[in-house]
Structure 1
Amino acid sequence: MNVRSRLRWDAVPPATGAAVMATGIISVGFHLAGFDALSVADLWIAGLLWLLLALAFTALLVGDRRGWTARAQTPPALTAVAATTVLGVRLDQLGWTTAAEALLAVAAVAWPVLLTSVLRHLGRRLPGSAFLICVATQGLAVLAATLAPHTADWLAWAALPVFALGLVLYGDALRRFDPGQLTAGAGDHWVAGGAMAISALAASKLLACGVWNGGAHTALRVVTLVLLGVALAWYAVLAVAELLRPRLRYDLRRWSTVFPLGMTAVASLSTSAAARVDRLDPLGRALLWVAAAVWLVVAVGALRRLRRGPGAAGATAAGGGAERAVSVPDD
């Protein structure tokens, strides 16, 4: 690979995966809410962005191993895993089980490599991107549990310890999270709530598998409702923080705001069906339209940035957050 080509792929920041995650989860939500035309449109956008991310990921790995290694040490690299699992969930909704299984395999291979690399370099007083260690892990649990009912029960059993590990990683990220990000973060501070929302979604998918009976089913239902309650509490705290300290300028990390908004909506819709709590359905639908509106605002900001130039400022902002995530090592 020549230098010019390498630089072109290097201009695609790892945080681009958050745009795939955001668009993909809103596509999933629109499908659950019965808006299939909007869902398919978002799926096309998410699919094309995922292909761009996959090509950049591969090209950098082949052409600049040192650069790839440096990126793999930062939490935004884990958006590649999370984005792959979200896309897999949407493909499964279309009945494309084989494609979803292939994406699960890709994510399962990349996950331990990237997670280990990120954990080895994770520091303290971090932005919200630290919670991606949980998000990527729970993404695997979500996709495996989603596939389990019409493929193999062992996927549900495999998803259960991954789900539990995701909760442990959430606790680790929480102790490293800088609370000041609630009023100073550039967008990725919302992942603190999004990670809890995807944990609730994973629990709801496990609950819906039909593998658990008796006390295990009851316990999982309680866990699902508790996790969703915590996710909704995070949503309220983060929304109030935005009102108290508005941050209206476009930043690439705002895609990491859209994803938690959409994930909380989908977790509410999924929990409503799995736990049979009907009142969560209208809540999920309302939150889905909020997420879609914010997606549109962020997309317009991204297009305006692209018209001014190939994302130098946005890439710098995302890179700055990634660098900060590894700059203060644990004692």
Structure 2
Amino acid sequence: MATGIVSIAAADHGFEHVSIGLAVLAAGALPVLTLAVAVTWGRLDLADPDVTIRLFTFVAACAVLDNRFLANTAAVWLLGVTAAAAWAVLTAVTARNLIRRSWRELRGRARGAWELCSVGTSGLAIVLVALSRQVDWLWWGAVTMWLVALALYAAMTGLILVRAFAARLDPRGFEPDAWILMGGLAIATLAGDQLYRAGFSGVRGATVVTWIFASLWIVPLTYFGLRHMQRIEARRFAGVWWAMVFPLGMYAAATHAIAGDTGWPAVSTVSLVFFWIAFAAWTIVAVAGLRWLWRVRRGPLPSGHGLR
């Protein structure tokens, strides 16, 4: 998902070789990661909302790759149908899991990753816009999914903020997946832009608003992120770091779309800057992950040791 959106951002700014390389990596990684999840499926607690919400990553990943390979009709339909089927199943299971929990429990467990249900739904809206070019009535499905994504974002953000204030802004409570608070609005902006380009002019103002709020998230997230990184253990590699790369890449892509709609040259510059930030973050996380895998293959890490 993160690799795919950075590839799209690279293409937006004319870095074709970088974009193609990342697209190949993303296309190759999706089936591998899907197989890895399938192998461990029996060990997943599908009654836990935290587990099923995080699985919306698969929907978003299919949507991002779908958007990257729009020129390939077969890929668009394959990834689109797969994303829609996964979204339907995960939505039903997650709704069941949430209903069975009390408000207090949900408030206490909400994390930035819980925005993934909104991210996946916005991603599905983008997919449906692409498919509506061949099947007209899917256009209404895209509008519906975009509105549902915004509603889910509002609900999850409310839970997350209540928990954050309850924690009294403790830096130990910050995790990189908090960046999805910004990424959820960025992908909603991109979905709204796709609807606008497809002829639904009524969403133009809303997309500018979601982009502005996504931009506003950057300041507090950067502040708490820097506080969090002052702790030694926070600088050790963890898979959750990828949850920071995706929002940065998505913000670059969404900002590029806003620049195209508004004609504001400064916004295009912001998009370019965030592409390089996202690409740098992708490189750092990828290298750190490879180093971690290398050390694991060489033998178990000593107790208390982590990759910095």
The answer to whether the superposition gives a TM-score over 0.5 is yes
Q: Equivalent residues in 2 for 1:119-268 (5 A)?
A: 119-122=95-98, 123-125=106-108, 126-148=110-132, 150-177=133-160, 178-179=163-164, 180=167, 183=171, 184-209=173-198, 211-212=199-200, 217=201, 219-246=202-229, 247-268=234-255
By how many angstroms is 1:278 displaced? 3.6
- Aligned counterparts of 1:54 and 1:32: Cα–Cα separation in 2: 28
Per-residue CA distance 1:218-256 (angstroms, 9 max, x = gap) = x31110100000001112221122223324322110100
- The SS at the match of 1:69 is coil
Out of 56, 64, 84, which is 2:36 matched to? 56
Q: Over aligned residues, Cα RMSD in angstroms?
A: 2.3
**Counterpart amino acid of 2:208?**
L
| CA separation of 1:154 and 1:278: change in aligned 2, threshold 3 A | farther
| CA separation of 1:274 and 1:146: change in aligned 2, threshold 3 A | farther
For the pair 1:101 / 2:85, whether they are aligned, the reply is no
By how many angstroms is 1:299 displaced? 0.8
The answer as to whether partners of 2:112 and 2:177 remain within 8 angstroms in 1 is yes
- The SS at the match of 2:175 is coil
By how many angstroms is 1:70 displaced? 5.3
Per-residue CA distance 1:118-165 (angstroms, 9 max, x = gap) = 2333422311111111011111012222444x4343332210010000
| Cross-structure match for 1:75 | 53
- Aligned counterparts of 1:139 and 1:26: Cα–Cα separation in 2: 15
- Aligned counterparts of 1:309 and 1:129: Cα–Cα separation in 2: 26
By how many angstroms is 1:170 displaced? 0.6
| Cross-structure match for 2:87 | 111
By how many angstroms is 1:57 displaced? 3.6
User: Which range is displaced more, 260-269 or 181-190?
Assistant: 181-190
| CA separation of 1:71 and 1:90: change in aligned 2, threshold 3 A | farther
**Counterpart amino acid of 1:109?**
A
- Aligned counterparts of 1:202 and 1:174: Cα–Cα separation in 2: 19
- After TM superposition, the score normalised by the length of structure 1 is 0.79
| Cross-structure match for 1:14 | none
- The SS at the match of 1:291 is helix
- After TM superposition, the score normalised by the length of structure 2 is 0.84
By how many angstroms is 1:47 displaced? 1.1
| Cross-structure match for 1:292 | 279
- Aligned counterparts of 2:170 and 2:18: Cα–Cα separation in 1: 32
Higher relative contact order (CA 8 A, sep 6+): 1
**Counterpart amino acid of 2:152?**
L
The answer as to whether partners of 1:250 and 1:301 remain within 8 angstroms in 2 is yes
Per-residue CA distance 1:272-303 (angstroms, 9 max, x = gap) = 22344443211111111000001111111111
- Aligned counterparts of 1:249 and 1:138: Cα–Cα separation in 2: 31
| Cross-structure match for 1:270 | 257
**Counterpart amino acid of 2:283?**
L
- Aligned counterparts of 2:235 and 2:293: Cα–Cα separation in 1: 18
- Aligned counterparts of 1:244 and 1:206: Cα–Cα separation in 2: 38
Q: Percent identity?
A: 31
For the pair 1:91 / 2:69, whether they are aligned, the reply is yes
For the pair 1:306 / 2:278, whether they are aligned, the reply is no
- Aligned counterparts of 2:135 and 2:180: Cα–Cα separation in 1: 31
| CA separation of 1:25 and 1:158: change in aligned 2, threshold 3 A | same
